[in-house]
Structure 1
Amino acid sequence: MNSSNITFDFIDNPIYSIAYKVSGVLATICGLTSMFLILRNSPNIFGYYKYFLFNIAFWSFVFDMHMTSKNIYLATGCLFGLHIFYGCIISAITVAFFYRYYAVNRLINQFLSKRNIVLIILLHIFYNSIPLASYLVAAENRFEITQLIIQEYPNVKFYIENLGCVMLHPEISRPSSLVHVCISIFCFTISIPVVSTLIYKTIYALKENQQYMSAESYRMHRQMLKTLIFQLLIPTCTIILPLTTAIVLWYSSSEGVPQSAVQSGFILATTHSFTNTMMMLYFFPVYRIALIEKIRSLQQRLISILSISFCKLHQYCLQ
């Protein structure tokens, strides 16, 4: 492929556009549904944990809304939002694992101390601040980077000048660009060993404390731990892997690699709210039952309204 012929015209693909809109609609419906169910229908036995579930659902919803409102080209503001909201998702999941660990060890009050609450808030805010700072350092010579990229890829000039795309160039940004990539990878993956350690320690603590728990409490702790594991796998499968694959395919683009593969990666990265809600409905029957009841209630109301309207129309016609 001739580099001078590279464009972003595939963004205008109608199938891609429709898929992005459908993903946005699903994210809106599922995100709002999951947050509503968590706040209104969580059983008392969940305690404060429902707010940690809500935290995960909320940031998943915000991330998907941010991504589906943008096009595939990554503007600087979009990059900042991606880092910040992704950091909030990982922070929310990690904090929920800490909550489960403290809950199993019956140390909830210690975990919910004012000091820890402040640390949790700071973690959400600054989790990905270092990658953003390293990007700003790597992109410091923006004018030189812009000119060199336009010279190499003249057909992307419109997007760079009008949309402010994120840009790094190894000839100008090195070694700061390499530092940025390494820091980003570290921040994106550090949660995996941390959470894996928490899973091991929580399972061990759960077995140790089983004799002090009722059968119902033990089952609840096991179920919630299992759910959290899936809540870690979901962003890994729907955000990290698709985006990484899409970027690798894009940079190694050749005539043998279809653009649909790149597009699919970005679309899949916006399905976090949908998959998170489906997982929640599957693992927590209380939410599934509540949703079914609400759908039936709405269905009955709709039938009632239509019946009344039909009767009034029929009476009017008879007159």
Structure 2
Amino acid sequence: MSFPIIRHRRLRGNAAIRNLVRENQVTVHDVVQPIFVTHGSNIKSEIPSMPGVYHFSLDRVQEEIEEITKLGIQAILLFGVPDHKDAKGTSAFMDEGIVQQATRLIKELNPNLLVIADTCLCQFTDTGHCGVIHHHPITGHADVANDASLELLVRTAVSQAKAGADIIAPSNMMDGYVHAIRSGLDEAGYENTPIMAYSVKYASAYYGPFRDAVDSTPQFGDRKTYQMDPANGREALREAESDVAEGADFLMVKPALAYMDIIRMLKDNFDLPVVAYNVSAEYSMIKAAALQGWVNEEAIVMETMTSFKRAGADIILTYFAKDIARYLKK
């Protein structure tokens, strides 16, 4: 054989060598656990389409926070399910809204646990849309009014920061939302509160179980006029570039699994932390297959998370966060 003899397997010969040369690793510090809080009492109700994920009433949320803390997870993404919906999503920005109440409680239970507040209106509006609806005066066509919605999103962000949220995570995809929220937070004295921008959020079929969880399915139409077309990649750069210019502190790609090329694109083009949101259907598909015995759940979860890291994600929002923390403790 001619020199040199290339043997790639030399660096795969045993576990110690593989550990030494491993390029990407998942740690408990990489993952964020979403949780759902709701009104009522003594509620810990499993979401049917998301096995192992629950709605918690405020009097039961302590057990979830204690488990998350014990596992070493440092951050949660907080979603609220209100008891009242209206055209403006008023309960999203009330001081006694469910997210605001839960934030204050969680910060009392564990002041060091990062509370990332989802900042959107969809689960609070009676239309299920991420903003207020405008009807065209001539055609009568209904669509989300961008600038009118920004005002309400700013009020929501400020109320969440006031309640103690450590990071504001606006998921609405309105044009100019980062600038509006950044200005509103700064004017209210929360200039040190970071914004985790849902910069590249696609109009995806992967959100189905989540919409069950928060009852946010649009009552008419869809979200394709404000969320991105799954066929588009370069457009993601324009969206992210706008958020960077407007003052975002993190850039998110949502969903993650079918959009790892977009994660890599953002990683290569911007120097802000990149967040991958491993969304509800991505979770539920693995859980469903594992419950049937068709896949090794732990192996496929960790392979998926490692792929997000390899694609360029610095942070992973995932309903598997607690499972991952347990796997890593073995």
Q: Do Structure 1 and Structure 2 share a fold, with TM-score over 0.5?
A: no
Structure with the higher fraction of residues in helix conformation:
1
TM-score band by shorter chain is under 0.3
Provide the TM-score with structure 1 as the length reference. Answer: 0.27
Whichever structure has more strand as a proportion of its residues is 2
Using the size of structure 2 for normalisation, the TM-score is 0.26
Larger Rg: 1
Q: Greater relative contact order (Cα 8 A, min sep 6): structure 1 or 2? A: 1
